[in-house]
Amino acid sequence: MKLLAVDDDPVFLGVLVLMLNTLGQDEVTVAPSGMKALEILHLTPEPFDCILLDIQMPGMTGVELCQRIRSISAYRRTPIVMITAMTGKRFIDDAFAAGATDYVTKPLDAVDLKARLGMVTRLLNERRITATLEQKFDQRHDAVTIDVDFDSPFPVPGFARGIDYLALENYLLMLGNKRMYNTAALGISVQNAGAFYRKASASAFVNMLGDVGSAITDATKADQMMIAYAGAGNFVAVLSGNSAIDREDLQMALQAGIEDFASFYAADRLPLPQIKVGKLVRASFFGLFNPTNILENAVALAQSDLDGKAKAWWSAA
């Protein structure tokens, strides 16, 4: 795996490289600053597979660098892992909002680093599939065959606001139970996704998700949230627990946005996606749970008409 590590602390960089070498990662390039990292990225013909960033650096912070890296087309989907001593919620929020894939706190141990690299390897395998999807997204016909698993999350081509589902899970895991009390989740479900998948080609299914993603982007421009495709025709958003979102208004706006694509679906003799927005799900301060369960429950509420059946450790508004 080709890695780039960026940190202004030369001692930590040396320790990190040694740990990576011990784990079998010998192709490691280091940079002492954000500007030097950008220079390396632009001058290296073969893209890096993963980038490791510190947050607190002089001149350009790791969050600013992450944003700059995401603006480079070759690195829009590259795994970016923040390795930092900063544990405050604001730093975590800013890092994931800037496009971070994962967040690890110092001091770093080899077991944790090995686990994160395993996650990166899985993401790299998924990225190959995503690259194919993005190449074919603009072709609204079946000239090219692609393989898409209905239940699996993947980055939806054309979904400008979308982040990796795994990154959304990592964000919640970093917050932990104590910092989840002011966090909420919202599910958005394509109610006829299963029927659409069975009738249409994989290419048409991906195009449909892109249309829904475009509608979500347009309808949520004014809202601060992180959104990912969760698989099976479901999207899920994480937002502040005191957010005042009118789900009926949002659902109407999304369906109206999908109507803009009605002519394409009619021409292809495919059903128009039917959108449902579930109830806002808030975490209970006293509950003991896996933080990522809030995503599953938000999706379940969007999929079902029985909105009252939320798990006991969540409250649905």
In the chain, the domains with their CATH numbers are 3-125 (3.40.50.2300), 140-316 (3.30.70.270)
Is the CA virtual torsion 124, 125, 126, 129 positive or negative?
positive
- Determine the pLDDT at residue 138: 52
Confidence of residue 313 (pLDDT cuts 50, 70, 90): very low
Q: Which of 149, 153, 147, 159 is nearest to 208 (CA)?
A: 159
Helix 293-303 to helix 165-175 angle (10° resolution) is: 130
- Determine the pLDDT at residue 129: 62
Residue 16 CA to residue 141 CA, distance in Å, equals 47
- Determine the pLDDT at residue 4: 98
pLDDT digits (tens, 9 = 90+) for 18-76: 999 999 999 999 999 999 999 999 999 999 999 999 999 999 999 999 999 999 989 98
pLDDT digits (tens, 9 = 90+) for 100-150: 999 999 888 888 899 889 888 888 877 766 666 666 555 544 445 567 889
Considering the chain, what is the average pLDDT of its residues? 86
- Determine the pLDDT at residue 265: 95
pLDDT digits (tens, 9 = 90+) for 207-266: 999 999 999 999 998 788 999 999 999 999 998 767 778 889 999 999 999 999 999 999
Cα 27 from chain centroid (whole Å): 27
